Amino acid sequence: MRELLKIDNLSYSYHTLAGETTALSDVTFSVSEGEFVAIVGPSGCGKSTLLSLIAGLISPSRGEIYINGNDARTSGKNIGYMLQKDHLLEWRSTLKNLTLGLEIQHKLTEESYVIINKMLDTYGLITFRDSKPSQLSGGMRQRAALIRTLLLEPDILLLDEPFSALDYQTRLEVSDDIWGIIRKEKKTAVLITHDIAEAVSMADRIIILTDRPATVKSIIDVNLTVEGERTPFAARSAVEFKDYFNLIWKELNQHEDITKLRA
Amino acid sequence: MRTLRSLERSYKNRSEVVSSAQQAYVAAYITKMKRIRLIQILILVVFIGLWEGSTRLGIVDSFVFSSPSRVVHCIITMIADGSLFMHIGITLLETFVSFGLVILIGLLIAILLWWNDSVSKVLEPYLVILNSLPKSALAPVFIVWLGNNMKTIIIAAISVAVFGTIITLYTDFKEVEEDKIKLIRTLGGSKKDVLFRVVIPSNLASIISVMKVNIGLSLVGVIIGEFLAAKAGLGYLIIYGSQVFKLDYVIMSITILCIVAAMLYKVLGYYEKKYTS
């Protein structure tokens, strides 16, 4: 498959008066078109910084990001970003929340409404079209947030722990929902999570980062035997599931042992 | 009172479906609220009655303390010659003009400070000092600079309210959730988009509450201004009345000010409900 995103020796440091903090150090990996990649790592290791860099919200200290083979700074990149919380704006109706991105990019046309209505219908939000976000359930809100992002037709979707604010049951449901939507729309996705089970159940490939300064520790291909459709929920029942879980657990903790020894 | 009446009516209409305990609870609530309103009215009536009575009986001198009947008489005379509405009109006009300017200037400067962090850092100590300065101290200076006219009164009123407005709005603007700003940026939005799509709409309630405070402050500023530099207006009537020992003017003006202030506050309270619920 075609390589869509390439991260090459990426480094990033924060500067505060207290000093310099290296968040990322020589991170290298790539993502193919249509692939679902999960990035796991200890909390505070710089996962979110990595997404901010890919999204172009901040510029790398060193290294390059290529999208479709072009430097991300010059290519007309289009990246969708889903934050931890849905951040639907309370003073707008659901419909108006969905059009926010299109409004900002001046792409809102008559046709957009046709597409929006179709998506609202497909993903079970059509009856809430004119409701305030507060009337939507947690799962509906995340779906609405995803549609808001998808309407901008991004090449890559960045998911920054989009389920962490939800309770466990909703979380499993929404994982299935979001995963289904991403597959259906044939999008490439990069998911950040600290939940190992979530990563194994959703991703084709898992990139494990070390503690700060983060660098790529290992990359694991996930191949699960699932009867029927491989939804995240079905994936959790695959025989290989716990092996992957243990493998990643070990990878993450091995590192902590070393840091403990060092300290 | 009207809401209480509608509550009563709505309960009468659906008395079949609610339990007797609930009915008793609502009835007790309505009785209590009615009693409170009764006492409120009673306090006013007793106060006015005592005041009138004691001046009639010569316990206090109505020349110095005025009296309700003299105030009413004064109001009637001044309505008849049209001067009362002129004074109220001038005070209201000055209040509205300064209120409008305070909101406009306050919003613009708060946006500027939010937009440019360096500007806000530079201006911060000046704003803090100007905000804590008693603004009535500035009024004589304005008279010297601007003359004995309406301009001075309006500038004095603006100076009373504007610094607090800037500081409050700027603080509220700064408190917008960082992730909401990130959301706009991930959707490809500029700083202008952040301002108009998140910062201002999310602070609508705070802007209206600032307006509620400011309508009162503008009135305070206008009265201070009229004390010092006016030929008309309620503040002028108060000062004039006290100087020529016509206490009827003073008491009447204060009474009218009470009513005007309450009404202005009510109007903004109405808009607050309308736009924030």
Nearest one of B40, B63, B60, B64 to B51, comparing CA atoms: B60
Whole-number pLDDT of residue A263: 46
Residue-level pLDDT, tens digit, chain B, 277 residues: 456 777 777 666 665 677 888 888 989 999 999 999 999 999 999 999 999 999 999 888 888 888 999 999 999 999 999 899 999 999 999 999 999 999 999 999 999 999 999 999 999 999 999 999 998 888 889 989 998 889 999 999 999 999 999 999 999 999 999 999 999 998 888 999 999 999 999 999 899 989 988 999 999 999 999 998 888 999 999 999 999 988 999 999 999 999 999 999 888 888 888 877 6
Tokens of B103: 């909101």
* Residue A150 burial by Cβ neighbours in a 10 Å radius (0-12, 13-18, 19+): buried
Residue A87: its chain B contacts at CB < 8 A?
A: 177, 179-180, 183
3-state secondary structure B35-98: HHHHHHHHHHHHHHHHHHHHHHCCCCCHHHHCCHHHHHHHHHHHHHCCHHHHHHHHHHHHHHHH
A85 touches chain B (CB under 8 A): yes
**Distance between CA atoms of B222 and B100, rounded to whole angstroms?**
13
The first and second tokens of residue B245, run together, are 């020992």
pLDDT in tens, A147-200: 999 898 888 999 998 888 788 888 888 888 889 888 888 889 999 998 899 999
- CB contacts, 8 Å: A104 with chain B: 184, 187-189, 193, 197
Alpha-carbon distance A258 to nearest alpha carbon in chain B (angstroms): 34
B179: nearest CB among A79, A83, A100:
A83
Beta-carbon separation of B186 and A81 below 8 A: yes
Mapped to the 3 state alphabet, what secondary structure does B221-269 carry?
Answer: HHHHHHHHCCCCCHHHHHHHHHHCCCHHHHHHHHHHHHHHHHHHHHHHH
What the block records as the tokens of A6 is 């390439």
Q: Which residues of A touch B179 (CB under 8 A)?
A: 83-85, 87
What digits encode the pLDDT tens for the residues B138-157?
A: 888 998 999 888 999 999 99
Q: What is Dmax (Cα atoms) for chain B?
A: 78
**A89/B202 Cβ within 8 A:** yes
Distances (CA, A) of A62 to A24, A27, B29, B107: 10, 10, 70, 41
CB contact under 8 A, A91 and B202: yes
- H-type alpha helices, A123-157: 138-150
- Buried b vs exposed e over A2-31: b needs ≥16 C-beta within 10 Å? eebbbbeebbbbeeeeeeeeebbbebebeb
Which residues in chain A touch residue B197, judged by CB atoms under 8 angstroms apart?
89, 100, 103-104
Angle, nearest 10°, between helix axes B117-132 and B150-174? 130
Calculate mean pLDDT across residues A131-155.
89
Tell me the CATH architecture of domain B74-276.
Orthogonal Bundle (1.10)
How far apart (Å, rounded) are the C-alpha atoms in residues A183 and A188? 9
Tokens 């939005």: give the residue: B189
* Per-residue confidence (pLDDT) for residue B277, from 0 to 100: 62
Q: Residue window 68-87, chain B: list those with CB within 8 Å of chain A.
A: none
Q: How confident is the model at residue A79 (pLDDT cuts 50, 70, 90)?
A: confident
- Nearest-10 crossing angle of helices B83-115, B204-228: 130
CA distance B166 to B161: 9
Rounded Cα distance, B220 and B237, in Å: 15
User: In chain B, what are the domain boundaries?
Assistant: 4-60, 74-276
Residues of B in Cβ contact (< 8 Å) with A152: 187-188
Q: How many CB pairs under 8 A join A and B?
A: 42
Q: Tell me: the pLDDT tens digits for A205-227?
A: 999 998 888 888 889 898 888 87
- Which residue type, as a one-letter code, is found at position B201? P
| CB-CB neighbors (< 8 A) of B177 in chain A | 87
Q: B63 forms bridges with which residues in the sheet?
A: none
Structure tokens at B265: 């506050």
Say how far apart CA B151 and CA A46 lie, in whole Å. Answer: 58
Residue A243 is inside which H or E element, if any?
helix A241-262
Q: Count Cβ atoms below 10 Å from residue B58 Cβ, excluding itself.
A: 8
Q: Give the closest-approach CA distance of B77 to chain A in angstroms.
A: 51
- pTM beyond 0.90: the answer is no
Terminal Cα-to-Cα distance of chain A (whole angstroms)? 43
CB neighbour class for A194 (10 Å; exposed up to 12, middle 13-18, buried from 19): middle
Question: Where do the H-state alpha helices sit in A3-128?
Answer: 47-55, 94-98, 100-104, 110-122
Q: What gap in Å lies between CA A218 and CA A252, rounded to an integer?
A: 10
What is the rounded distance in angstroms from the CA atom of residue B15 to the CA atom of residue B22? 10
Q: Do B188 and A85 touch (CB under 8 A)?
A: no
CB A199 within 8 A of CB A193: yes
Mutate which: B177, B187, B198, B199, vs A, most A CBs within 10 A: B187
How many CB atoms are located within 10 Å of the residue B27 CB? 12
Please report, in angstroms and rounded to a whole number, the separation of the first and last CA atoms in chain B: 22
Buried b (16+ CB within 10 A) or exposed e, A65-103: bbbbeeebeeeebebbbbbebbbbbebbbbbbbbbbbbb
- For B187, the closest of A85, A91, A152 (CB atoms) is A152
Amino acid at A213: P
Q: How far does the CA of residue B179 sit from the closest CA of chain A (Å)?
A: 8
Tell me the mean pLDDT in the region A232-239: 86
Say yes or no: A58 contacts chain B, CB-CB below 8 A.
Answer: no
Task: Specify the DSSP class assigned to residue B7.
Answer: H
